[in-house]
Amino acid sequence: MRLVVADAGPIHYLVLIGYIDVLSLLFETVIVPSAVRDELSQAETPAPVRTWISAPPLWVEIRRSYAAPDSSIPLYFPGGLGAGETAAILLATEIKADLVLMDDRRGVAVALRSGLAVTGTLGLLVRAAKYGLIDLAQAFNRLKHTNFRYRAEIMDAMLAASRDAPTIRRG
Query: Which has more pLDDT, 157 or 79?
Result: 157
Domain residues for 106?
Answer: 1-171
Query: Which has more pLDDT, 86 or 101?
Result: 101
Pairwise CA distance, residues 30 & 124, whole Å: 13
- Tens digits of residue pLDDT in 142-151: 999 999 988 8
Total-model pTM:
0.88
- pLDDT for position 102: 97
- pLDDT for position 171: 53
How far CA 11 is from CA of 15, 79, 118, in Å, comes to 6, 23, 14
Q: What is the CATH number of the domain that holds 92?
A: 3.40.50.1010
How many domains does the chain fold into? 1
